[in-house]
Amino acid sequence: MRERAVRRVAGLLRSRLPEVGLEEVPDPRAREGRWRLAQILTAALLGLLAGCRSLSEAEALTESLAPAMRRRLGLPRRLADTTARDALCRVSLEGLRAALHRLVRAAWRRKALAPQGLPFGVVAMDGKVTALPAL
């Protein structure tokens, strides 16, 4: 059952990766690395979506992927957990925030997100009043 769920998650990730634009996240590492930052971020996202609790579980997941699925995700081989850790610790949070913003904006434009506002326009808490913008 887990293998089927991983295939579904990998397929979903593959279909939405162009919206995220992981290639645009600045890479703080030296240029002689064997892995592009976008590949490392893809493997990390796959691990998160598949329910991996650690980078070593994500490493095992990238090793267990079928070659065709690895090719579709742009992962040439197993991604070592130490490689992922070293890269993820150095990546710019601003670059990741921009990628998340691109993803949310794309989901909003294709009407995949619904506004979650309050059913009324004003909230009073502890005597303070805040007007909520109309959606």
Write the pLDDT tens digit of every residue in 10-45.
888 888 888 888 999 999 887 777 899 999 999 999
Question: In terms of pTM, does the model score above 0.75?
Answer: yes
Q: Hunting for tokens 């490689």 — which residue is that? A: 83
Burial 83-95 (b: 16+ CB within 10 A, else e): bbeebeeebeeeb
Sign of dihedral through CA atoms 98, 99, 100, 104?
Answer: positive
Q: What's the pLDDT band for 125 if we cut at 50, 70, 90? A: low
pLDDT, tens digit (0-9, with 9 covering 90-100), for 62-80: 999 989 989 999 999 999 9
